[in-house]
Amino acid sequence: MAQLFRPGANSVAVIVLVVVVAAPAAAIALTYGFWMSPYATRQYLIPRQPVPFSHEHHVGRLGLDCRYCHTTVEKAAFAGLPSTHICMTCHSQIWTDAPVLEPVRQSLARNEPLHWVRVNRVPDYVYFDHSVHVANGVGCTTCHGPIGSMPLTYRAEPLTMGWCLSCHRHPESYLRPPGAVFDPEWSPPANQEAEGARLISAYLIKTEGLTDCSRCHR
């Protein structure tokens, strides 16, 4: 009887079956890995700004409060970006001829706003309210990272849904007292879980609805 298949046919069949089964799973894993990577989330990316503003200098060294530039962070969904007049409050007196500040002076002279590029941004279909978070003990560095040590501002966290849910599921791990919300040097105490549980009660946070879809998608 003539042999229809060569001795290696079984090996070829096994390889083909493995590829057919494994290829979709590998494709899904690679796609998920890509979308979770800093390349897709734009994490650590430093966008080009009209002026190379240094939080390390202004916040870390000079001690400027976040609310001085981000004026609506306590009362609106959007924290606000600094206007030219805020910049010129100081720079009409110091560094008045610095070349790096020429865009600011031109902005004032032409009465045209500086076009800052937002670094930390969630998709348009996500509702995020700064005022609610800071009023309930979520500090600036929780989402924005070590802002006080950034010479140039970058996105420190991925800001993905999974990342947000990690806080909504366990807020006790992240909450801080009111006086520490805008402190760039704050670090959680050794008893953060117990302190966080106390703060949940103090802030009157209803944890049972924090992971509802309608919290962020409206």
pLDDT the model gives residue 20: 82
pLDDT the model gives residue 3: 56
Instruction: Tell whether 106 is covered by a domain.
Output: no
pLDDT the model gives residue 214: 94
Shared-domain flag, residues 68 and 20: no
pLDDT the model gives residue 28: 80
pLDDT the model gives residue 4: 59
Radius of gyration of the chain (CA): 25
The residues, any chain, with a CB within 8 Å of residue 48's CB and separated by 6 or more, are 117
Shared-domain flag, residues 16 and 123: no
Shared-domain flag, residues 14 and 74: no
Instruction: Tell whether 194 is covered by a domain.
Output: yes
d(CA 194, CA 217): 30
Shared-domain flag, residues 152 and 196: yes
Shared-domain flag, residues 21 and 72: no
Instruction: Tell whether 148 is covered by a domain.
Output: yes
pLDDT the model gives residue 26: 78
pLDDT the model gives residue 57: 97
Shared-domain flag, residues 144 and 198: yes
Instruction: Tell whether 32 is covered by a domain.
Output: yes
Instruction: Tell whether 105 is covered by a domain.
Output: no
Shared-domain flag, residues 68 and 157: yes
d(CA 165, CA 40): 19
pLDDT the model gives residue 31: 74
Instruction: Tell whether 111 is covered by a domain.
Output: no
Instruction: Tell whether 95 is covered by a domain.
Output: no
Shared-domain flag, residues 60 and 35: no
Shared-domain flag, residues 33 and 73: no
Shared-domain flag, residues 149 and 183: yes
pLDDT in tens, the chain (218 residues): 555 556 666 677 678 777 788 778 777 877 777 677 787 888 999 999 999 999 999 999 999 999 999 999 999 999 999 999 999 999 999 999 999 999 999 999 999 999 999 999 999 999 999 999 999 999 999 999 999 999 999 999 999 999 999 999 999 999 999 999 999 999 999 999 999 999 999 999 999 999 999 999 98
Shared-domain flag, residues 141 and 204: yes
d(CA 145, CA 184): 9
Domain limits for position 31: 9-41
Instruction: Tell whether 211 is covered by a domain.
Output: yes
* CA separation, residue 210 to residues 166, 194, 202, 203 (Å): 11, 19, 16, 14
Q: Tell me how many domains the chain contains.
A: 2
Shared-domain flag, residues 134 and 193: yes
